[in-house]
Amino acid sequence: MAAIVNHQSERTTATALCCVAVAAALAAADAAVVRLLAGEVHAFVIGFFRSLFGLATIVPLIVARPRVLKSGYRLQHVTRAALKLAALVCFFMAFAAAPLADAMAIMFTTPIFLMLGAWLWLGEKLTPGLVFALVAGFAGALIIIDPAGHGGMAPALLLALAGAGLQALVQLMLKRMSDLDSTETLVVWNLIVTVPLAAVPAAFYWATPDLREFALLALQGVMGAANMALMTKAFSIADASEIAPMDFLRLPFVAVMAWILFGEVAGLSTWLGAAIIFAATMVVVGGGRLRRRVAED
């Protein structure tokens, strides 16, 4: 019986890892699409079309399974959608103005912010190791941002850092909301609520996309919906400590795309800062796993 349980657990973890790997590739492609649209379509308009096309992608699911709309939450969906939209706009602005690999590396501070949020709002205890991880994580981000070296691009990288903080808030809400709502329900309601929320700021920066821009926006919407579904599924079936390392595939993926499409080559500071953030993240997720084991024992 124990062998069967272990085998099932291994299969579940493998499924989660595959979900995260595919999501990482989609996230890298998403960043490249935003750069291709830079200067042509405003970030708020990109956010609107991303949610609109994402919603269109899952309409068949809603029609086939209307019960997916049943949720244990109301206001929380609106709050989560607003935070997610704000995070996306921050990321889009960073992708448009800063080197893609740098902006993507900064995004990996999300688990560091998540730890900080768990301490501030959930009352989780900060151990000396986690405090060190917190300091090291932000030090890694500072190495990448390098205000003196990047000059005019530093503000864009700070937007990526703000987006990471907002994304951490979203994940804190997601972990709590997954107790009552399924993966499909969380994805569906996020897109349903985001469309009208995104339409308001998009109206102030509206410019009708041409055929090329429209195609890229449609592609991004589909990739965004798939990414959200894959990550939500992964976090619902596996521990963050098991899948977090795979999420770092986004950096080499986006570095390759940035080199091929835009001739950008990630510098030493990018890889050094990302390595420090990665190490700090592993301390965070590893510490959480250790605390759970101690509690179970």
Q: pLDDT by residue (tens digit) across 234-278?
A: 877 777 666 777 788 899 999 999 999 999 998 888 999 999 998
pLDDT digits (tens, 9 = 90+) for 160-197: 999 999 998 988 888 788 778 887 888 889 989 999 99
- In the three-class reduction of DSSP (H, G, I as helix; E, B as strand; rest coil), residue 171 is classed as helix
d(CA 250, CA 22): 10
Q: Which residue has the tokens 């995104």?
A: 198
Confidence (pLDDT) at 152: 55
In the chain, beta strands by DSSP E: none
How many helical (H) and strand (E) elements, i.e. helices and strands, does the chain have? 13, 0
94, 98, 103, 104: CA torsion to nearest 10: 110
Amino acid at 115: M
Predicted pLDDT of residue 176: 80
The CB density around residue 139, as the number of other CB atoms within 10 Å, is 13
Choose from 109-113, 180-184, 201-205, 279-283 the range with maximum mean pLDDT.
Answer: 201-205
Q: Does 287 score more than 80 pLDDT?
A: no
User: So what's the pLDDT on residue 290?
Assistant: 40
Tell me how far CA of residue 242 lies from CA of 13, 30, 95, 119, 288, in angstroms: 7, 24, 28, 21, 11
Query: Per residue in 50-94, pLDDT tens?
Result: 889 888 888 988 999 989 999 888 888 999 999 999 999 999 999
User: How far lies 251's CA from each of 1, 103, 169, 266, in Å?
Assistant: 40, 9, 22, 10
Q: What is the pLDDT of residue 274?
A: 92
CB atoms within 10 A of CB 60: 9
Residues 6+ apart with CB under 8 A from 280: 112, 133, 134, 136, 137, 140
Range with lowest mean pLDDT among 14-28, 46-60, 114-128: 114-128
Phi, psi of 207 (to 5 degrees): -150, 120
Question: Among 113-122, 177-186, 249-258, 281-290, which is the least confidently predicted range?
Answer: 281-290
Q: Quick check: 104 pLDDT over 60?
A: yes
